[in-house]
Amino acid sequence: MIQIENTIIHQQLPADELIERALLAEGKLNDTGALCINTGTFTGRSPLDKFTVEDELSISLTDWKSDFNIPLKAHYFVVLKEDLLSFINNQHEIFQRVCYAGAHADYRLKINVITQSASANLFAYNMFLRPDEISEGNIIGEWTVIQAPDFEADPAKHGTRSKNFSVISFAKKMILIGGTGYTGEIKKGIFTVLNFLMPSKYNVLSMHCSANIGAEGDTALFFGLSGTGKTTLSTDPQRWLIGDDEHGWSKDAVFNFEGGCYAKTIGLNAEHEPEIFAALRHGALVENVIFKPNSDEIDFNDSSITENTRVSYPISFIDRIAKPSVGGIPKNIFFLTCDATGVLPPISKLSIEQAEYYFLSGYTSKVAGTETGIKSPKPTFSTCFGAPFLPLNPNVYAEMLGTKLREHEIKVWLVNTGWCGLPFHQGKRISLSHTRKMVNAALNGLLDQMPFEVFPFFDLAVPIQCENVPTEILNPYKTYQNDSDYLERMKKLANDFEKNFTQYASTVRSSVIACNPTFK
């Protein structure tokens, strides 16, 4: 257990008290009562400053070839921990709480969260399972997270790349975070731990996805990178939310790892995302937003601090939730991609081999204007839709998914939530209402009753019609096959997929490699 002395320790404070303390120096309330803070220099994760300690547990299992699994020598960790604890012990006050990850009673991780600020402790209260809201269960381990934004590392002394860091030690069961106030580092640190433990020790597939369940008990999963629509599409007024971001899939159930939601708020409005909009109330923690002039009302369209404006809130803030946050074997799986090139169809049905292929590929687009130096859409491939959080080799997760798809009758869909036909600088993003209609048609089995046709070169099966969705957008190739610009973009995207997949050519089945799009 961590020894903390010489400082006031506020243990297990309820949300109201944490908010009261945060209002003294850390943030202010908006017009709906949510606490609004600025996380400082860092408004997002810093993947290149996330380290895994080389120890007896990590050394043989970690995929060190990944750009996101950066090793840190054990002796550096010892010094960093000592210096961080010394810093914590010299604070006037700190905040500590015990919480849990894992809604399934058989797979529950106990977490001891120690934070420098009240607002970061509120984040932990919102995002993890609270002791009074869970039943007795099996504790698979106990971890400690220490977060201190004002403590900065010395790269020469601590082995880090810069002053900010997030360091995981599997042997010591600790996560150390410093130099950054971005609360998402806490959440994703624990997710990385679960991505290590669940597959390797418990034969549970850990997944970067949202999940919900319908009136007939049918579970659906939504995989996708940031900005593709996981939270939005899974928060459906006609279904019950299991969770919005991180889940496990055991032999008989899908279960939420978390006790809260962490939603993007850029462009948020009550019409398109009413459930999330309504969750911005007292107890919610909003990050890096701007207020409208001379008011306490948030301007959700203002991205002057960051595009990555966020809100965390307990999942109970959503009216329609599964209790507990557990569902059965999924009936439908959706892979979400925001294709800014305008090439991919808005929805297509995948074979098992194609599902493994697109899961390993994890494709979406970075759009011009969201990152410095990007002047045109940049394809991004993040394996298993979560490369920065995967300690194990991606094939471990892909093979587990493939096995489950072969064991059960599950439909897998590729959904483009980006642009269709015209690229981002010429056209408009596919409307959320159309995407919802297509997803709902898939969930309700209506798409299965439609004839499908082939989207060429990618060999995707696309429906020829979907109720209340313009027919011309369902297969953009039919509309733009005589457009040289579209064909050129199609060729480039096909080549990007093929080039990216070369890294898996020696480790996956030939039938999966055959899913490479070929433009001839």
Q: What is 396-436 written as a DSSP string?
A: HHHHHHHHHHHHS--EEEEEE-SB-SS-TTTS-BPPHHHHH
Q: Is the peptide bond between 324 and the residue preceding it cis, with omega within 30 degrees of 0? A: yes
Contact between 314 and 262 under an 8 Å Cβ cutoff? The reply is: no
Place of tokens 């599902």: 355
Q: What's the CA gap between 117 and 16, in Å, rounded?
A: 14
Q: Crossing angle of helices 484-501/352-361, nearest 10°? A: 90
Q: What's the CA gap between 120 and 285, in Å, rounded?
A: 9
pTM of the model: 0.94
Please report the domains of the chain, with CATH numbers, ordered by start residue: 8-317 (3.40.449.10), 329-513 (3.90.228.20)
pLDDT attached to residue 4: 77
Closest among 307, 286, 308, 306 to 297, alpha carbons compared: 286
Q: What's the CA gap between 508 and 399, in Å, rounded?
A: 9
Contact between 30 and 36 under an 8 Å Cβ cutoff? The reply is: yes
Strand order in the sheet with 27-29: 27-29, 35-37, 285-287, 310-314, 260-264
Ramachandran quadrant class, 433 (left: phi over 0; alpha: psi -120 to 50; beta: rest):
alpha
Residues forming the active site: 45, 188, 208, 226, 230-231, 245, 310
Number of neighbours of residue 245 by Cβ within 10 angstroms:
27
Contact between 257 and 290 under an 8 Å Cβ cutoff? The reply is: no
Number of neighbours of residue 100 by Cβ within 10 angstroms:
21
* DSSP 8-state code for residue 367: P
Q: What's the CA gap between 232 and 214, in Å, rounded?
A: 16
Q: What is the pLDDT along the chain (520 residues), one digit of tens a residue?
A: 577 777 899 999 999 999 999 999 999 999 999 999 999 999 999 999 999 999 999 999 999 999 999 999 999 999 999 999 999 999 999 999 999 999 999 999 999 999 999 999 999 999 999 998 887 789 999 999 999 999 999 999 999 999 999 999 999 999 999 999 999 999 999 999 999 999 999 999 999 999 999 999 999 999 998 889 998 999 998 999 999 999 999 999 999 999 999 999 999 999 989 999 999 999 999 999 999 999 999 999 999 999 899 999 999 999 999 999 999 999 999 999 999 999 999 999 999 999 999 999 999 987 633 443 344 567 899 999 999 999 999 999 999 999 999 999 999 999 999 999 998 888 899 999 999 999 999 999 999 999 999 999 999 999 999 999 999 999 999 999 999 999 999 999 999 999 999 999 899 999 999 999 987 6
pLDDT attached to residue 374: 43
Number of neighbours of residue 58 by Cβ within 10 angstroms:
21
Q: What's the CA gap between 136 and 140, in Å, rounded?
A: 13
Closest among 158, 153, 80, 145 to 116, alpha carbons compared: 145
> Tokens for 35?
């606490």
Q: What's the CA gap between 236 and 219, in Å, rounded?
A: 13
Collect all residues with Cβ–Cβ distance below 8 Å to 158 and sequence separation of at least 6.
76, 79, 80, 83, 165
Between CA 280 and CA 288, with CA 285 as vertex, the angle to 5 degrees is: 100
Number of neighbours of residue 405 by Cβ within 10 angstroms:
21
> Tokens for 5?
């002395």
Q: Which helix (H) or strand (E) holds 499?
A: helix 484-501
* DSSP 8-state code for residue 50: E
Q: What's the CA gap between 352 and 349, in Å, rounded?
A: 10
Sign of CA dihedral 436, 439, 444, 449: positive
Q: What's the CA gap between 285 and 34, in Å, rounded?
A: 6
Contact between 189 and 180 under an 8 Å Cβ cutoff? The reply is: no
